[in-house]
Amino acid sequence: MSNKPKLRFKEFNDEWSSSVFSKTFKTLQNNCFSRDLLNETDDNSIKNVHYGDILIKYGTILDCNNVTLPSIDSTVDLKKFNDESYLKDGDILIADTAEDYTVGKLCEIINVRDKVLSGLHTIPCRPLQDFASRYLGYYMNAYCYHDSLIPLVTGIKVSSISKSSIAKTIIKYPCIDEQKKIADFLNKVDEIIAEREEEVKDLEQQKKGLMQKIFSQQLRFTDSNNNPYPEWEELNIEEVCDITTGKGNTQDKEDDGIYPFYVRSPIIERSNKYIYEGEAVLTVGDGVGTGKVFHYVNGKFNFHQRVYKMSEFKQVIGKYFYYYFSHNFYNRVRKMTAKTSVDSVRLEMIAKMPIQVPCLAEQNKIANLLSHLDELIEEKKALLSDWQSFKKGLLQQMFV
């Protein structure tokens, strides 16, 4: 097997070196403090890196200049932690527990200014030799290394990996100059991805703020003569559309199905049969997606028996209904159920929900404006996806 990557900077051609993890790193002391012992307000206390944040919140590189680490409660006794326990630039923090095969995800920490400890379910490691900054973070999260951890994972409901198992894995690396080139290049790609993510986030915030102003009627449209449109009318949802549930079950999905199949999650599955054709708005009837998953559809589709379909619109335009309904649904249902969170909703609850209905001309203007914003958001998401795919390809080809 070649010890050279498929994709390489042209000035490098040497074989990469290999070493056993246990001879490349020394493990440091971590703590087992729960979230209850961490806070975001004590700036003078010791900072902490929790495994849940490694898995979800932090990227490959944990740059302390760009994140605010939680602090350990000042009442906690930290005398057992010696100077070697506190993290330094270039240390690697491995999450040893997860609900799936993301176990083993890690961060390389840089720009450490405060005293920082590695927390619950983490394996903090310090390199015993020099590596270029960021190289280990990218390499050890790449497929070539992370895939080597998968056979070592134990557990059924919760996946975990032990220090002793990781200690036997192999670390591969080129010369320092090539490490630096790889890390710098991938870091530039990450910066572009972060910019694309920020663009999407900004547009989504603009849309959210705009919808709040429109549907609270702080912002109103006027006709071609700059005259205000008539006052909005309040109706119940059952007065403006028909509401039904689907007939499908999850076993009806087909990976290569012809039609979209809407289920109780944001993921749109496929099916080889459709049970409705036309314009509709769909939402989830129970589960974690309740109040958060909405679809506007116009065409042939199938949908799950715990998904509600609103169609055959009267006095409202389908797109207007979609935007109003998705913006107001969650809080309306919370009021009707007296719950702080929403995990299920009945058809009759939807039927009795009020909807503010402007005239058709104003509905059209609202729908067109928000649709235009959605198109911009989708364009930015497509660009983001392209860059994420580009990085994925790099991680598959730049390492061995």
The CATH number assigned to the domain holding 101 equals 3.90.220.20
Average pLDDT score over residue span 266-293: 91
Amino acid at 134: R
Measured CA to CA, the distance from residue 351 to residue 172 in angstroms comes to 61
Going by pLDDT thresholds of 50, 70 and 90, the confidence category of residue 286 is: confident
51 by Cβ neighbours in 10 Å (0-12 / 13-18 / 19+) ranks as buried
Same domain, 161 and 267: no
pTM of the model: 0.87
DSSP 200-241: HHHHHHHHHHHHHHHHTTSS--B-TTSPBPPPPEEEEHHHHS
Sign of CA dihedral 172, 178, 183, 186: negative
Average pLDDT score over residue span 279-307: 91
How many Cα atoms sit within 13 Å of 354 on the Cβ side? Answer: 8
Same domain, 276 and 163: no
Same domain, 29 and 105: yes
Domain boundary among 129, 151, 173: 173
Whether 42 has a pLDDT exceeding 90, the answer reads no
Same domain, 23 and 125: yes
Amino acid at 298: N
Amino acid at 196: R
Same domain, 140 and 261: no
Residue 220: inside a domain, yes or no?
Answer: no
Please list, in sequence order, all residues whose beta carbon lies within 8 angstroms of the beta carbon of residue 184, skipping any fewer than 6 positions away: 134
- What is the number of structural domains in the chain? 2
Residue 23: inside a domain, yes or no?
Answer: yes
Whether 228 has a pLDDT exceeding 90, the answer reads yes
Average pLDDT score over residue span 365-386: 98
Whether 231 has a pLDDT exceeding 60, the answer reads yes
The answer to whether 2 and 397 have CB atoms below 8 angstroms apart is no
Whether 45 has a pLDDT exceeding 90, the answer reads no
Q: What is the pLDDT of residue 214?
A: 97
Same domain, 42 and 145: yes
Domain boundary among 173, 190, 222: 173
Residue 2: inside a domain, yes or no?
Answer: no
Q: What is the pLDDT of residue 133?
A: 98
Same domain, 26 and 167: yes
Of 85, 137, 90, residue with least CA distance to 115: 85
Same domain, 169 and 244: no
Of 169, 190, 47, 173, residue with least CA distance to 104: 169
Helix residue spans in 12-92 (DSSP H): 21-24, 51-56
The answer to whether 87 and 117 have CB atoms below 8 angstroms apart is yes
Whether 338 has a pLDDT exceeding 80, the answer reads no
> In Å, what is the CA distance from 146 to each residue of 51, 68, 108, 120, 169?
17, 27, 15, 21, 10
Residue 188: inside a domain, yes or no?
Answer: no
Residue 373: inside a domain, yes or no?
Answer: no
Q: What is the pLDDT of residue 366?
A: 98
Residue 198: inside a domain, yes or no?
Answer: no
Whether 340 has a pLDDT exceeding 80, the answer reads no
Amino acid at 269: E
Q: What is the pLDDT of residue 331?
A: 80
Whether 342 has a pLDDT exceeding 70, the answer reads no
3 state SS of 125: strand
Same domain, 169 and 271: no
Q: Round the average pLDDT of the chain to a whole number and report it.
A: 94
Range of the domain at 272: 233-357
Residue 274: inside a domain, yes or no?
Answer: yes
What pLDDT digit, counting tens, does each position of 102-130 carry?
999 999 999 999 999 999 999 999 999 99
Average pLDDT score over residue span 171-181: 98
Q: What is the pLDDT of residue 1?
A: 58
Whether 289 has a pLDDT exceeding 70, the answer reads yes
Average pLDDT score over residue span 2-22: 95
Q: What is the pLDDT of residue 341?
A: 64
Whether 363 has a pLDDT exceeding 60, the answer reads yes
Q: What is the pLDDT of residue 339?
A: 60
Q: What is the pLDDT of residue 69?
A: 95
Same domain, 256 and 143: no
Same domain, 239 and 163: no
Same domain, 167 and 261: no
Whether 288 has a pLDDT exceeding 80, the answer reads no
Measured CA to CA, the distance from residue 218 to residue 338 in angstroms comes to 27
Percent of the chain with pLDDT over 90: 86
Residue 191: inside a domain, yes or no?
Answer: no
Domain boundary among 156, 173, 190: 173
Helix residue spans in 276-359 (DSSP H): 318-337, 347-351
What pLDDT digit, counting tens, does each position of 68-99 carry?
999 999 899 999 999 999 999 999 999 999 99
